[in-house]
Amino acid sequence: MAWRGQLSRNLKELRILLCQSSPSSSSARAFVENNYKDLKSLNPKLPILIRECNGIQPQLWARFDMGVERGIRLEGLSEVQISKALEDLVKVGTALKA
């Protein structure tokens, strides 16, 4: 889980979009509840934005250098799969810097 501490090195911003009540966002809500504090304490200067909107499909967006953004739909993913998707975005950020 060392990649969690490298978020701020590879990302400029992390956005999580979810619905407060829909079943499709339940895993995204659980991910935020269980991981936000840890991610923020390891990356205190990284903007981690949680955007709640009624009826929206859950998504994870990462902004990298030069305004490059990548998004992943989270519908149907478990909390573990969402963590893996975030890890993959950190790897993308590493590759973009190289």
Q: Please check whether residue 27 lies inside any domain of the structure.
A: yes
Dump pLDDT digits (tens) for 14-59: 999 999 999 999 999 999 999 999 999 999 999 999 999 999 999 9
| Domain encompassing residue 19 | 6-96
**The model's pTM:** 0.91
- Residues 57-88: tens digit of each pLDDT: 999 999 999 889 999 999 999 999 999 999 99
The pLDDT value recorded for residue 3 is 85
21 part of a folded domain: yes
In a domain, 19, yes or no: yes
Q: Is 34 a domain residue?
A: yes
- Give domain status of residue 1, yes or no: no
Q: Angle at Cα 98 formed by Cα 37 and Cα 96, nearest 5°?
A: 60
d(CA 9, CA 7): 5
Question: What's the domain count of the chain?
Answer: 1
Q: Is residue 61 part of a domain?
A: yes
Q: What is the CATH number of the domain that holds 68?
A: 3.40.30.10
The token duo for 98 is: 């190289």
**Looking at this protein, which amino acid is placed at residue 23?**
P
In a domain, 40, yes or no: yes
